[in-house]
Amino acid sequence: MGQKSHLRLPALASWRTASPPTLDEARRALGGRTRSDGREGAGATVDEPRRGRSPGVVLCAAAGEVDVWIGEGLIARVAQVELDEPAELFRAVAADIRRYWALREGDRVRVDGALGTLREQCRYGALVERDEAPGKVVAVGFRRLEPARGA
């Protein structure tokens, strides 16, 4: 279970005060366009160099890499993990992860109460075209997305 690296999820809200990122910059900050392999939302244990074995939840597993959420905005990127049920601490984020990966590109979604269309699904979030600004795309973390019910 070799540890590759720790990654901090991007603070996309900070872009609101700077010039808007390009689509390529937003896509890169969200980990790149991908589909997870079906392990997302599972409880996971990773070997941490400083802390030993740490619990977490699989955020994305693709291209031979597994990104495991191990704390608010912090992930461990590993080659493999031991899977189990998510620990109580991670059940809410595991549900958000499963909800996110159940979505498909082209689906109608809700972001902070506003409706839009999921244009690209990435490792940590998505590019969404919001209805009130056709043709404009926003980068959204996976926890802020939900299916648009009845839309």
Full-model pTM: 0.85
Q: How confident is the model at residue 142 (pLDDT cuts 50, 70, 90)?
A: very high
Q: Decide: 46 and 58 in contact? Cβ < 8 Å.
A: no
Indicate the DSSP class of residue 107.
Answer: -
CB within 8 Å of 134: residues ≥ 6 apart: none
- How many domains does the chain divide into? 1
Which residue range is the domain that position 48 belongs to?
3-147
Output the pLDDT for position 19: 78
pLDDT in tens, 18-50: 678 899 999 999 999 999 999 999 999 988 777
